[in-house]
Structure 1
Amino acid sequence: MNELIEKYFENTLSAEEKVTWEENLKNDPEFKKEVEFQLEIKNAVLLAERQKIKNEIKQFELENFKPVFQLRKYFPYLLQFLWPLFHYSFIFLIKINQHKACMLNTMTLIQIPKFQIREMHIKKIRLLNKLLWPMI
């Protein structure tokens, strides 16, 4: 009986042994219990081996790999720091462009009121805020 179970787990049963295997499994409750027991043992051994390999890999990684700076971890803080710099530099560029636009308009004698230019730039800032705010 034990030889039959071993051959089953090794997948080396002949055609006659397969027939005997199926008959014993259907008719003999002790044989069925023994097969289930052997299967549980096999699964337990496989799980123990997997866990051992996982522990060896973790130990190897701990010994051989240095931790890497993780940008994902510090990204929100970095963004909180950089957002005001970006925001105010953008406003500064807008002011420069307003000045250039006013100079250009005075040169061509076409006057665009400053409040219209300011409103256009405010709309741009609001749009950028809507686009970039979810990232913070």
Structure 2
Amino acid sequence: MFCYSGGFALNAARGGAVNVIGVDSSLPAVELAKENIVLNNMDPGRITFLREDASEFMKGALSRNETWDIVILDPPKLAPRKKALQNASGMYRNLNSLAMQLTKRGGLLMTCSCSGAMTQSGMFLRLLQASCTLLVCST
């Protein structure tokens, strides 16, 4: 989710993933990601990049009972300043809750935050722990 130039997706495919889907709401990002498939001499049949809102994509996937072995969630900076922490925490909570539900049991969820205000405050880890508890995850 939030694939931007496709770095994680391309590495997943290079690492042996049979089918990779990258999602970003930005058309220039999706076009760049598609271009990177060609630039890296990779099989375009194994990697799909979609221009779609990540939350909406994940909700749709849940409604179709889709799950993945690996889910990578790398949203843009949602809390550029401490003032934005409250609003950002709700967005991170929702995104991670959806991503956790899409990750197969025994699978891997890699979640990222480039919002220094969120990670430095310790809120990000607490938010993930709370989201996991709500979904009855095992740690």
Query: TM-score, normalising length from structure 2?
Result: 0.20
Find the structure with the greater CA-based Rg: 1
The higher relative CO (CA closer than 8 Å, separation ≥ 6) is in 2
Which structure has more strand as a fraction of its residues? 2
